[in-house]
Amino acid sequence: MFFWSLVLIAVGIFSSFIYGRSRIKLNSKKQGTKSKSLPNYYAQYVLMWCLFPALIVYFSWAIFQEQIIQNIVISNFEYIEGAVYNEGLLLAEIRNVANNPSFADGKSIEIINAASHYSSLRQISQISFYTSIIIIMLLGALYASQKLKPEFHAQHTIEKYIQYILIFCSSVAIFTTIGIVFSLIFESLRFFAEVSIFEFLFSTEWYPFIPIREGQTAAEGSFGAVPIFAGTFLVMVVAMCVAAPLGLLTAIYLAEYASQRVRKIVKPLLEILAGIPTIVYGFFAFVSVAPFVKAFGQSIGIDASPTSALAAGMVMGVMIIPFISSLSDDVINSVPQNLREASLGIGANKAETIKKVILPAALPGIVGAFLLAISRAIGETMIVVVAAGTAPNLTGNPFENVTTVTVQIVVALIGDQEFDNPRTLSAFALGLVLFVITLFLNIIALQIVKRYRERYE
C-alpha cells in the first residue's frame, strides 16, 4: 500500500510541475507581462505545495495507522468474563488470523470476529489513505495555483522553502544526537537509582551479577567500574605507544621526504588500513598477535594470559596509525611553503627545518590528531572484545587480561534480558561515561586546532 501511494505521489508532483509551468505561461500571456521569475520556479512552487503536504500525510499514516487500528480492535474486543488475557499475545493472534484465514481453525469466535474487524478497519484505512493523499495534493496545488501570477516572486519563495528544507535536514542529525544523549542519561539514572554513583565511579570490584531468584544472596552483584576504566586506559596507552611514533614519523616521511610517486602509492594504501573492518583486526589480534605476546612473555619469564592488553593494544595501535598519519600529514602539508624556504634559505638542513620550524608550527594540529585517535581508540569495540578478554582486572601489567568499557557494554547487552536490572542498565552508564570522555577529547582537540589557526594565520 505504501509503495503504490509513493507512485501516486510521484505522478502527482510530476503533473503539478507540468501544470504550474503551463499555467504561469498562460497567465503571463493573458496579462501581457513577463513573469518576475522563470516559469520553472512557479512549477517548483506548485510541486512543493503538492509534495510536502502529501508526504506529511504519508508519514503520519505510516507511523500511526497500525497503532490506531489495534487500539480500536482491542477496545471493541468482546472479553469473556473471568478469562485472563495478555494483550500482546492477543493482538498477535488477531493479526495472524486476519492475515492468514487458514489460522482461523480452532480459534474462538471472539478472535475471529476481532480479526475480521481488524481486516475491515485496514481496508477503510487504506481507502481513506489514498483519498486523503489525492485530496491533500489537489488542495496544495489549488492553493499554489492561486499565486501563479506574473507579479509573484516565485524564485524568492522557492529559495525560502529550500532554506527550510536544508534546516530540517541538518536538524535531523542534531536531534538524533540529542535523543541518544537523553536516552543514555535517563537509562543511566535508572541504573544509578539501584547502584550508587560513588560505587560505580570509585569502587574497584566489578561483578555484574544479579540474583536470578528472589533472595539469592550468593550472587549479589557489585558495580565498581574502576577496573574497567583502568583496562580501557591501559589498552589506549599501549595503542598510542604504537600509533603515535609510527603515525607521526610516517606523516613526516610522506609530507617532507617522499617523492610524488611514492606519496601517490603509500597514502591510499594507508587509508585502506583505515577501511579494514575492525573485527578483522580483532581476529588478527587473537590468532596471530596474542599467541606471540604470550610466547614472548614466557620467554622473558612473565606469565602472559592468552588474551592480553598488549595484544589488543598493539593491534589497535596499528588500526589508528592511518588516523594519525593522515591527519598529521595534512597538518604538516598546510604549514606554509615559505616557512620551509625561509629555513632552508638560511642554510638549515631538512631535519633541522622539520624539527625546529615545521613541527612546532604543526604541533597543535598534531596534538589534535592524537586526541582524535585516542577517542577513536577508547570507543573501539571489536578488537578488544576478541583480544583483550573480559576479566575486570585492576592491573598495570599489559600481559594480563583486562576489559574495557566497550567490552563490558557488549557483555551486558548479550543475552535475552529485559532492561530492568542493574546488569543490563550498567551498559548505559558505561556508555554515558564513554560518551562524556570522547566528547571532551573531541572538544579539546577542536579547540587546540582552532587556537592554532588563529595564531598562525
Partner 1 sequence: MSNSKILANGVDVYYGSKQALFGISMDIKEKEVTALIGPSGCGKSTFLRCINRMNDLIEICKVSGSIKVDNEEIISEKTDVVSLRSKIGMVFQKPNPFPKSIFDNVAYGPTIHGLVDSKNELEEIVHSSLKKAGLFDEVKDRLNEPGTSLSGGQQQRLCIARAIAVNPEIILMDEPCSALDPIATAIIEELIDELRLNYTIIIVTHSMQQAARVSQKTCFFHLGELIETGETNKIFTNPDNTKTQDYITGRFG
Closest approach of Cβ 330 to partner 1, in Å? Answer: 18
Of residues 82 and 345, the one with the C-beta less far from partner 1 = 345
Nearest CA-CA partner of 91 in 109, 75, 105: 75
Please count the other Cβ atoms lying within 10 Å of the Cβ belonging to residue 170.
10
Q: Do 125 and 65 touch, CB atoms closer than 8 A? A: yes
Grid coordinates belonging to 227: 577496573
SS3 content of the chain, % helix, strand, coil (to 5): 80, 0, 20
Closest approach of Cβ 151 to partner 1, in Å? Answer: 52
Q: Which residues in 155-295 belong to E strands, given as ranges?
A: 206-207, 222-223
User: How far apart, in whole angstroms, are the C-alpha atoms of residue 206 and residue 133?
Assistant: 56
Closest approach of Cβ 372 to partner 1, in Å? Answer: 23
Nearest CA-CA partner of 385 in 314, 289, 282, 290: 282
Of residues 147 and 263, the one with the C-beta less far from partner 1 = 263
What SS3 state is found at 207?
Answer: strand
Of residues 335 and 402, the one with the C-beta less far from partner 1 = 335
Contacts made by residues 196-200, CB under 8 angstroms, sequence distance 24+: 199/223, 199/224, 200/224, 200/225, 200/426, 200/429
Q: Do 150 and 24 touch, CB atoms closer than 8 A? A: yes
Of residues 41 and 452, the one with the C-beta less far from partner 1 = 452
Q: Which residues in 400-440 belong to E strands, given as ranges?
A: none
Is residue 243 packed enough to be buried (19+ CB in 10 Å), middle (13-18) or exposed (0-12)? buried
* Residue 105, phi then psi, degrees to nearest 5: -55, 130
Of residues 303 and 352, the one with the C-beta less far from partner 1 = 352
Closest approach of Cβ 352 to partner 1, in Å? Answer: 5
Grid coordinates belonging to 94: 488477531
Closest approach of Cβ 334 to partner 1, in Å? Answer: 13
Of residues 217 and 338, the one with the C-beta less far from partner 1 = 338
Task: Look at the block and give the residue holding cell 620467554.
Answer: 299
Closest approach of Cβ 252 to partner 1, in Å? Answer: 16
Of residues 75 and 337, the one with the C-beta less far from partner 1 = 337
Closest approach of Cβ 456 to partner 1, in Å? Answer: 5
Closest approach of Cβ 356 to partner 1, in Å? Answer: 7
Of residues 299 and 337, the one with the C-beta less far from partner 1 = 337
Give me the residues that bind partner 1 (CB under 8 A), please.
259-260, 336, 338-349, 352, 356-357, 360-361, 455-456
Of residues 127 and 363, the one with the C-beta less far from partner 1 = 363
Nearest CA-CA partner of 358 in 377, 339, 375: 339
User: How far apart, in whole angstroms, are the C-alpha atoms of residue 242 and residue 18?
Assistant: 62
User: How far apart, in whole angstroms, are the C-alpha atoms of residue 128 and residue 340?
Assistant: 72
Closest approach of Cβ 338 to partner 1, in Å? Answer: 4
Of residues 298 and 349, the one with the C-beta less far from partner 1 = 349
Closest approach of Cβ 343 to partner 1, in Å? Answer: 7
Of residues 213 and 455, the one with the C-beta less far from partner 1 = 455
Nearest CA-CA partner of 247 in 313, 314, 326, 311: 326
User: How far apart, in whole angstroms, are the C-alpha atoms of residue 400 and residue 358?
Assistant: 40
User: How far apart, in whole angstroms, are the C-alpha atoms of residue 370 and residue 357?
Assistant: 20
Of residues 44 and 343, the one with the C-beta less far from partner 1 = 343
Closest approach of Cβ 404 to partner 1, in Å? Answer: 39
DSSP string, 348-391: --HHHHIIIIIHHHHHHHHHHHHHHHHHHHHH--HHHHHHT-S-
Grid coordinates belonging to 302: 612473565
